[in-house]
Amino acid sequence: MAPAVLIENLKKHYGSVVAVNDVSFQVEPGEIFGLLGPNGAGKTTTLRALCTLTTPDAGKIEVSGISVIDNPRAARKRLGYVAQEVAIDPILTGRELLQLQAALYHLNAAVIKQRVEVVLDLLGLQEYANKKTRTYSGGLRKRLDLAAGLLHAPDVLVLDEPTVGLDIESRFIVWEFLRKLREAGTTVVITSHYLEEIDALADQVTIIDKGVVIASGTPSQLKDQVGGDRITLRIREFTPPEEAEKAKNLLESLPFVQEVIINNAQGNSLNLVVTPQNDALITIQRSLNHVGLPVFGISQSRPSLDDVYLAATGRTLMDAELAALGNRDLKAEKKQNMR
């Protein structure tokens, strides 16, 4: 059986900006596949290329064995796409919007009637179906958008940040819906920068950063590859670089410490990978105090997907998000100053 999605050596540039550089992964039928990375990593560009919305500079893209590049019309019939921004006409009722969307898929009248009712039931929208969409909450608008993407019963549902901006209850409703889709055999490709979302949902994960794949596997495999427990340590609230280096050199000499990374973006905190043992925190504190270094804060945990990202890039996913936001604000300020 052909993969539900196959992407090989995908490249896309926008002028001098490299959005995606040699990205490859495949998605098996009936699984939830997570594409994880910070804003600006290349997730949306990858999905837009998959959904025939942008033409890649190079690479191979297939949906159920159909070339997206050579046969986009046939590929679109297999794809459902729900963009990050919800696009809903406020003057229509939920049912009217779905009927219009189904007509755009060129479904016949009998099929439209049946499919609209199916997706309304599936997303729990029947009681809101005859209300104007301008009265919908953010969670209801997102669920209606998901319903629209399912009208033509696609083999692969592609979701770009499906829960961004939603409250916790609405996010959990979407999560449960996606699990039901998987149980019914639909393949789901989802991008997110929410670590817990990908960890909770995805059967397979590919992490990208600056347009490049940095890790792939199941969530458990990726976390196991990092190895050991994680310890986050602060010498001071904002540690001087020389003290962070001194602490790093000392900690690396401890027999149970596997790796130490100085996180400059978080006040020169130290992130450690350690062989699990009961007295790790006490031993670290005593060793640092012995050379005159205080401990402002320390915590220990099992590996997470953020640790996978940290091990590959030297920064956490949150750090990358903040850096992307800072760069975007700086560009906006420069543009404003040029006017």
Sequence-separated (6 or more) residues with CB below 8 Å from residue 196: none
CA distance 146 to 257: 46
Q: With beta carbons less than 8 A apart as the criterion, state whether 97 and 148 touch.
A: yes
242 and 100 fall within a common domain: no
In order along its 339 residues, the chain shows pLDDT tens digits of 799 999 999 999 999 999 999 999 999 999 999 999 888 889 999 999 999 999 999 999 999 999 999 999 999 999 999 988 877 889 999 999 999 999 998 999 999 999 999 999 988 899 999 999 999 998 899 899 999 999 999 999 999 988 888 888 888 888 998 999 999 999 999 998 788 899 999 999 999 999 999 999 999 898 888 778 889 999 999 999 999 999 999 999 999 999 999 998 889 999 998 988 888 999 999 999 999 999 999 999 888 888 888 888 878 888 887 776 666 554 554 455 545
Q: What is the pLDDT of residue 214?
A: 92
Q: Which amino acid is located at 204 in the chain?
A: Q
155 and 244 fall within a common domain: no
200 and 266 fall within a common domain: no
Which of 164, 207, 172, 159 has its CA nearest to residue 305?
A: 207
Q: What is the pLDDT of residue 85?
A: 81
Q: What is the pLDDT of residue 43?
A: 92
115 and 263 fall within a common domain: no
Sign of the CA dihedral running 112, 129, 179, 20 = positive
Which of 187, 119, 129, 123 has its CA nearest to residue 159?
A: 187
Q: With beta carbons less than 8 A apart as the criterion, state whether 305 and 222 touch.
A: yes
Last residue of a domain, one of 180, 205, 222: 222
Q: With beta carbons less than 8 A apart as the criterion, state whether 89 and 134 touch.
A: no
240 and 197 fall within a common domain: no
In Å, how far are 30, 144, 146, 213, 319 from 122, measured between CA atoms?
18, 10, 10, 34, 37
Q: What is the pLDDT of residue 37?
A: 87
CA distance 332 to 171: 31
Sequence-separated (6 or more) residues with CB below 8 Å from residue 74: 66
> Around Cβ 249, how many Cβ atoms within 10 Å?
11
205 and 232 fall within a common domain: no
**Structural domain of 297:** 228-302
